[in-house]
Amino acid sequence: MIHTRDHQTPYLFDPWDYLGPKRKTLLSESWAGLFREHILAELPVQKLAHFFTEDFGRPTKELYASLGALILQQMHDLTDEETVSQFSFNIQWHYALDIPGESDESKYLSPKTLWKLRHLVTKEKLDVELFNRTTETLAKAFHVDTSKQRLDSVHIRSNMRRLGRIGIFSKSINTFLINLKRRHLEIFETIEKELVDRYLTEKALSCFSLVKPSESGKTLEMVARDLFALVRRFRDHEEVKSLHSYNTLLRVLKDQCSVTEEKDDQPAAVEVKPPKEVRSDSLQNPSDPDAGYSGHKGQGYQAQVMETYCDSDDESIRAKTLNLITHVEIESACIGDVHALIPALDSTKERELAPTELLADSLYGSDDNSERAKEMGVDVISPAMGTPKANTLNLSDFKQSETGVITACPQGHAPVKTRSGKKQKHGVAFSSEHCNVCPCKDQCPVKAGKKNHYLHYDIKAMRIANRRAMEHSPEFKEKYRWRSGIEATFSEMDKKTGVKRLRVRGLSAVSYFARLKAIAVNIFRATAVRKALGLPGEAFVVIKSDIRYAIFVFKELFMKPMGLLANFFTPAIDQPRYELKIAA
């Protein structure tokens, strides 16, 4: 039976007055007060309602508090056992989750309940909904300016062992043999004892990590032949082919080996691929098949993170501005950053958090991405890929029209002929009389022809050349210097939430952990900004005007006089709330 409470209607008598004014002020001004005020009531509990009934079965734990506990767990990077302890005894958690009662029913959450709820959230992909709702709520509450943002990726390691090529083969075979023994013992007993002893015993499997470098090539060939023999042996056995571990063997064989089929009485053979021919999306560890490989960062995943930023040199202004993480997407480490820009812009646009100016590395700012972003109203500020040749003139040195057509050479001579072709390709001809005596002819890309000197180019090349020229301007350097600030965000995420090394495996689990940790960083930052602004830790209303924001604190106007009346009664902690209506 579903059990929820109303966390929006204020209490008639404040159940937290027993803490005293100083401790209560500390609570309300901390992250706990911000979570209670802005986040708790916005949690998407209704998305879980179809898993429970309204009038049958034992009541669930209060779902707002339980769902909030999942966020607090990632805020403080806790295990399930530590989370249960904090949920049961930590006053900050009780205040943040609005749990005033002292019963076990209110303040105890079993590890099984925590695991089950996390499983439901991951299965329904509610981590995306949680991140979107909390981000939108904080953006409205703190009037975040989303026009300027920056984008980059951070590497994440899941809870998997780093394996070399020999380790990938041997571990895959070991997992398959264990699985086969458990599921189909009679089939397992038909396998040669020598092969079983080589991979199934723990002592034998550990020997593969002690291989001498000089013998690694022979050992790799041996394990490849053993894996190939198992694949061939059971390729027509339907029961074995249905095993996940057998399909892992197939994937390793495809990723790491080249197979020669039987031909002209020659038996099938297997050959290990050279390292350069192994794709980056090949299997890195049988225990985490979703993980990929990046030659720059290694095995694992990457999180694409986009955030707002303040471009003021005044530290007091930056301290009062919330840098809000607006987009988080998790993907395999083998996927290039070039594919992340447009999905990030689409995601923020749907939630009305899209930027108009975006800072990013050169991998994000390809010409195609920049043009598509421009169509979406976003100016991507990013260095162009590639390096021009030294001591040569570029297309940007030629005078050009607004449409990118060359109108004069660097020496000021106009072309004698201009031609526009298909696919935005252009050609211009300059008089050989001028080009033959030009002092820059050795550095100029214009080439001599039969009648004139010619230059062929396309609009894309012109755009890239103009971008490279713009990179040396003071305006570009002034704007782009703020991109490096996102590295501080990654450091903050790691130090406060441990995002770079997670306790889970698999894309869905890693995505859940990373998004909730991003929520945590937003909450920590919002708390710091609220303190810098000197805003009260109670609920407040912001009325927007052309001159200023008028902040009316509800407690000072309405609840403080009620506190005098409360002294004549014994507060009932578990009593239901009542709506306090004030006549106009």
Lookup: tokens for 401: 């029209």
Tell whether 528 and 552 lie within a shared domain.
no
Is position 520 within any domain?
Answer: yes
Task: Beginning with the edge strand found earlier in the chain, give each strand of the sheet holding 417-420 in spatial order.
Answer: 417-420, 425-430, 453-458, 447-448
Is position 14 within any domain?
Answer: yes
Q: Which helix (H) or strand (E) holds 299?
A: strand 298-308
Tell whether 6 and 114 lie within a shared domain.
yes
pLDDT value of residue 343: 95
Higher pLDDT, 552 or 406: 406
- Shortest CA distance to 409 belongs to which of 390, 428, 391, 392? 428
Contacts of residue 500, defined as CB under 8 A and 6 or more positions apart, other chains included, come to 154, 155, 156, 157, 490, 493, 494
The mean predicted confidence, pLDDT, of the chain is 86
Q: What SS3 class is residue 568?
A: coil
Rg of the chain over all Cα atoms, to the nearest angstrom: 32
pLDDT value of residue 556: 43
Lookup: tokens for 347: 């995601």
pLDDT-based confidence at 208, cuts 50/70/90? low
Tell whether 214 and 242 lie within a shared domain.
yes
Is position 358 within any domain?
Answer: yes
Say whether pLDDT at 546 is over 80. Answer: no
Tell whether 312 and 428 lie within a shared domain.
no
pLDDT value of residue 209: 63
Taking the C-alpha atoms of residue 305 and residue 326, their distance in angstroms, rounded to an integer, is 8
Lookup: tokens for 5: 């409470």
Tell whether 112 and 8 lie within a shared domain.
yes
Is position 302 within any domain?
Answer: yes
Tens of pLDDT, residues 65-75: 999 999 999 99
Tell whether 454 and 488 lie within a shared domain.
no
pLDDT value of residue 3: 84
Tens of pLDDT, residues 392-414: 888 888 988 887 788 899 888 89
pLDDT-based confidence at 204, cuts 50/70/90? low
Say whether pLDDT at 519 is over 70. Answer: yes
Tell whether 359 and 373 lie within a shared domain.
yes
Domain boundary residue among 415, 440, 465?
A: 465
Tell whether 116 and 151 lie within a shared domain.
no
Say whether pLDDT at 91 is over 70. Answer: yes
Say whether pLDDT at 340 is over 50. Answer: yes
| Sequence-ordered alpha helix ranges (H) in 90-164 | 91-96, 104-107, 111-123, 126-141
pLDDT-based confidence at 492, cuts 50/70/90? very high
Mean pLDDT computed over 173-196? 93
pLDDT value of residue 265: 65
User: What Cα–Cα distance (Å) separates residue 516 from each residue in 84, 241, 330, 346, 525?
Assistant: 18, 38, 12, 21, 14
Pairing between β-strand 148-156 and β-strand 357-359 as defined by DSSP bridges: parallel
Tell whether 7 and 105 lie within a shared domain.
yes
The residue behind tokens 């981000």 is: 135
Range of the domain at 427: 395-465
Is position 290 within any domain?
Answer: no
Q: What type of residue sits at position 372?
A: R
User: What Cα–Cα distance (Å) separates residue 492 from each residue in 68, 136, 361, 470?
Assistant: 22, 21, 20, 32
Higher pLDDT, 341 or 53: 341
pLDDT-based confidence at 547, cuts 50/70/90? very low
Taking the C-alpha atoms of residue 363 and residue 375, their distance in angstroms, rounded to an integer, is 19
Tell whether 444 and 319 lie within a shared domain.
no
Provide the number of structural domains found in the chain. 4
Say whether pLDDT at 377 is over 50. Answer: yes
pLDDT value of residue 297: 85
* Maximum CA extent, the chain: 105
pLDDT-based confidence at 539, cuts 50/70/90? very low
pLDDT value of residue 451: 86
Tell whether 81 and 61 lie within a shared domain.
yes
Domain boundary residue among 450, 465, 480?
A: 465
Tell whether 349 and 241 lie within a shared domain.
no
pLDDT value of residue 391: 79
